[in-house]
Amino acid sequence: MATVNKIENIAIIGLGLLGASLGMALRGRAYHRLGWTRRSEVREWALENNVIDETCEDIKDLLAKADLTILCLPIPKIMEYIETYADCWKPGAIVSDIGSVKEVIVNCGEKFLTPQGVNFVGGHPMAGTENNGPDAAFEKLYLNAEVFVTKTANTSTQALEQVKEFWESIGTKVVDLEMREHDNLVAHTSHISHITALALTETVLDCAPETLALRYSGCASGFRDASRISSSSPSMWREIIENNQPAVLEVVRELGKRYAMLSEIIENKDYDKLESEFSKGKKLRDAWIEYKNN
Amino acid sequence: MATVNKIENIAIIGLGLLGASLGMALRGRAYHRLGWTRRSEVREWALENNVIDETCEDIKDLLAKADLTILCLPIPKIMEYIETYADCWKPGAIVSDIGSVKEVIVNCGEKFLTPQGVNFVGGHPMAGTENNGPDAAFEKLYLNAEVFVTKTANTSTQALEQVKEFWESIGTKVVDLEMREHDNLVAHTSHISHITALALTETVLDCAPETLALRYSGCASGFRDASRISSSSPSMWREIIENNQPAVLEVVRELGKRYAMLSEIIENKDYDKLESEFSKGKKLRDAWIEYKNN
């Protein structure tokens, strides 16, 4: 098993919403923040705005210095960078990520980095908005967010602990779990809601032009919030579902059954049953809100 | 056709979220605000907090003075009060409401009030939150909200104009339309989202106790917003759907078809098509947000 270096230099690769917000959250802390992203003007913006402490033109020079690297990239890019730059990290370094799915990424990380003596620990902060890019970044994005880190039979306990400590240092709650358990979990708690929001948005707004003006008038805060994540990046959500298809499909089917049951209740005019389902939903959600507020 | 009185005294019947917020929105305006609700302590609270200007124990005394009455009650209560107090209003008075469905209410209003020489004009402000009661009320609830007012073959043009002017005076945008058109519209823009939010909440949180703790951790802002309206009043939503069943059922079926199509795309791993659906959803919603912000 690879050794683990003491963490002084942190490399943030990718300075979009998640990467730039991470740099902001790390302001004034003990780490030295290295940052890199493809566009040089964003690297300069990040330096000028105290999002990172240091950058350089060639990502390889930066990865060579990093004790901990957080890959804040789209899922396919995370895997591409791991493969492409596998020999750039120093032995004992830790590489982690923020990808919304874990099995495909962790398998890739272990395949390419373990032979180099580099530790890979999958990570996934439950943080984000419907907006993208550095302009959307803000210091408190991660505050009180839950962060999942995955452990496998190959994970170094020491590396796992260091990644957990790192995330805890910026005010998140860290939970470690097995990668398939993670992918099944987020299919429920996150991915499925993008499918229902899409079905809702299309049902409400995909209509004849002469109907649309009235529909615009009829949509208020309920629709605004229920559909918010429909404004997320289409390519990002395609990639997430593409890389978690079996788990997502299972939840899609479960929700389909529950929706069909509710449809039947409405068709049968069984309003007592409908009210008891609404009550059940309210109880379930209110209890979660209570948990979140504590 | 009934005459229409000049509006000086406005009666707000029901001082929950919608009624109390209406009183607050009317602060400092030309109208004299009469207010009544069943519980005397809420009437006192409303007087003390400048939500209304005047109240009295017997609702009948108050209705007798009102030039315009806004029934801010649950749907069954709106219809019950219209029938019960039909002979309390003075001829030429206008009665309106805030109910989320219009056909059943407007039919009731015209049946019981037209013979008394009292004008009924259905109204529905697209405003609300997932919370209820006077404690949840706030002055800006209606600001920039759309308000639907319904006209029928029996509606006095003058009464319709007065109700429209009244709502416009507190910063809302008023649209008049036919009552069935209204009920079909809100089935799309509002009612259906309560069904999808419920199906989502149950799919995510209706699970074995040993799974629930992890689900709690995995839910973040996406789920919070997509499920928010699941925390609404179960009895209120039962009543709304019960009184708009044919229109709701039609939209439930439409969304069911769209959801099935998305499920099939995921099952078939047709990710290009999935991405183009996500793009379509984003375009549709972003255009509505653009409209709302202007």
pLDDT band at A3 (very low <50, low <70, confident <90, very high): confident
Q: Which residue of B has its CA nearest to A257?
A: B199
- What residues of chain B lie within 8 A of the CB of A192, using their CB? 200, 203-204
What is residue B2's predicted lDDT score, i.e. its pLDDT?
60
Do the Cβ atoms of A15 and A42 come closer than 8 Å? yes
Mean pLDDT over all residues of chain B? 96
Same domain, A168 and A232: no
What is residue B285's predicted lDDT score, i.e. its pLDDT?
98
Helix (H/G/I), strand (E/B), else coil: B28: coil
What is residue B3's predicted lDDT score, i.e. its pLDDT?
76
What is residue A2's predicted lDDT score, i.e. its pLDDT?
60
Same domain, B55 and B160: yes
Question: What is the C-alpha to C-alpha distance for residues A90 and A62, in angstroms, rounded to an integer?
Answer: 11
Same domain, B80 and B129: yes
Same domain, A137 and A151: yes
Identify which of B201, B224, B289 has the shortest CB distance to residue A231. Answer: B289
pLDDT band at A130 (very low <50, low <70, confident <90, very high): confident
Q: Phi-psi region for residue B28, left (φ > 0), alpha (ψ -120 to 50) or beta?
A: left
- What residues of chain A lie within 8 A of the CB of B102, using their CB? none
Q: Is residue B4 part of a domain?
A: no
The reply to whether residue B249 touches residue A266, judged by beta carbons under 8 angstroms, is yes
Q: Which residue of A has its CA nearest to B242?
A: A271
Strand runs (DSSP E) across B191-260, as ranges?
none
pLDDT band at B289 (very low <50, low <70, confident <90, very high): very high
Residue of B123, B125, B103 lying closest to B163 (CA atoms): B123
Q: CB distance from B281 to chain A under 8 Å? A: yes
What is residue A24's predicted lDDT score, i.e. its pLDDT?
98
Q: Of B113, B144, B177, which marks where a domain is finished?
A: B177
- What residues of chain B lie within 8 A of the CB of A224, using their CB? 289, 292
Do the Cβ atoms of B21 and B79 come closer than 8 Å? no
The reply to whether residue A225 touches residue B220, judged by beta carbons under 8 angstroms, is no
Q: Is residue A137 part of a domain?
A: yes
And the tokens for B271?
């990710």
The reply to whether residue B197 touches residue A281, judged by beta carbons under 8 angstroms, is yes
Strand runs (DSSP E) across B98-160, as ranges?
119-120, 123-125, 146-150
The reply to whether residue A196 touches residue B193, judged by beta carbons under 8 angstroms, is no
Same domain, A77 and A170: yes
Number of domains making up chain B? 2
Give pLDDT tens digits for B76-92.
999 999 999 999 999 99
Question: What is the C-alpha to C-alpha distance for residues A89 and A119, in angstroms, rounded to an integer?
Answer: 10
Same domain, B43 and B85: yes
Same domain, A169 and A187: no
What is residue B232's predicted lDDT score, i.e. its pLDDT?
94
Q: Of A177, A210, A228, which marks where a domain is finished?
A: A177
* ipTM of predicted complex: 0.91
The reply to whether residue B291 touches residue A190, judged by beta carbons under 8 angstroms, is no
A196 sits in which H/E element = helix A192-205
Q: Is residue A4 part of a domain?
A: no
Count of CB pairs separated by less than 8 Å, A with B = 300
What is residue B294's predicted lDDT score, i.e. its pLDDT?
81
Taking residues B48-56, report their average pLDDT: 97
Mean pLDDT over all residues of chain A? 96
For position A49, which CATH number holds?
3.40.50.720
For position B263, which CATH number holds?
1.10.3660.10
Q: CB distance from A178 to chain B under 8 Å? A: no
Q: Is residue A2 part of a domain?
A: no
Q: Is residue A1 part of a domain?
A: no
Q: Is residue B16 part of a domain?
A: yes
pLDDT over 90 (residue A179): yes
Which class for B48: exposed (0-12), middle (13-18), buried (19 or more C-beta within 10 A)? exposed
A174 sits in which H/E element = strand A173-177
The reply to whether residue B282 touches residue A186, judged by beta carbons under 8 angstroms, is no
Same domain, A171 and A195: no
pLDDT over 90 (residue A6): no
Q: Of A132, A159, A177, which marks where a domain is finished?
A: A177
CB-side neighbour CA atoms (13 Å) of A274: 23
pLDDT over 80 (residue A239): yes
The reply to whether residue A199 touches residue B258, judged by beta carbons under 8 angstroms, is yes
Do the Cβ atoms of B181 and A218 come closer than 8 Å? no
The one-character DSSP state at A230 is G
- Higher per-residue confidence, A290 vs B132: A290
Q: Is residue B98 part of a domain?
A: yes
Q: CB distance from B139 to chain A under 8 Å? A: no
The reply to whether residue B192 touches residue A204, judged by beta carbons under 8 angstroms, is yes
Provide the domain limits for residue B106: 9-177
Q: CB distance from B203 to chain A under 8 Å? A: yes
Taking residues B199-205, report their average pLDDT: 98
Taking residues A203-226, report their average pLDDT: 95
Same domain, A123 and A167: yes
Identify which of A175, A254, A263 has the shortest CB distance to residue B203. Answer: A254
pLDDT over 90 (residue B132): no
Q: CB distance from B47 to chain A under 8 Å? A: no
Give pLDDT tens digits for A37-65.
999 999 999 999 999 999 999 999 999 99
The reply to whether residue B254 touches residue A198, judged by beta carbons under 8 angstroms, is no
And the tokens for B224?
């919070």
pLDDT band at B161 (very low <50, low <70, confident <90, very high): very high
What is residue A105's predicted lDDT score, i.e. its pLDDT?
98
Same domain, B49 and B146: yes
- What residues of chain A lie within 8 A of the CB of B274, using their CB? 238, 241-242
Same domain, A199 and A106: no
pLDDT band at A145 (very low <50, low <70, confident <90, very high): very high
Taking residues A138-143, report their average pLDDT: 96
Question: What is the C-alpha to C-alpha distance for residues B202 and B272, in angstroms, rounded to an integer?
Answer: 30
What is residue A132's predicted lDDT score, i.e. its pLDDT?
86
Give pLDDT tens digits for B210-255.
999 999 999 999 999 999 999 999 999 999 999 999 999 999 999 9
pLDDT over 90 (residue B130): no
pLDDT over 80 (residue B153): yes
The reply to whether residue B221 touches residue A128, judged by beta carbons under 8 angstroms, is yes
Same domain, A167 and A239: no
Q: Is residue B1 part of a domain?
A: no
Identify which of B146, B215, B286 has the shortest CB distance to residue A217. Answer: B146
Q: How far apart are the first and last CA of chain A?
A: 39
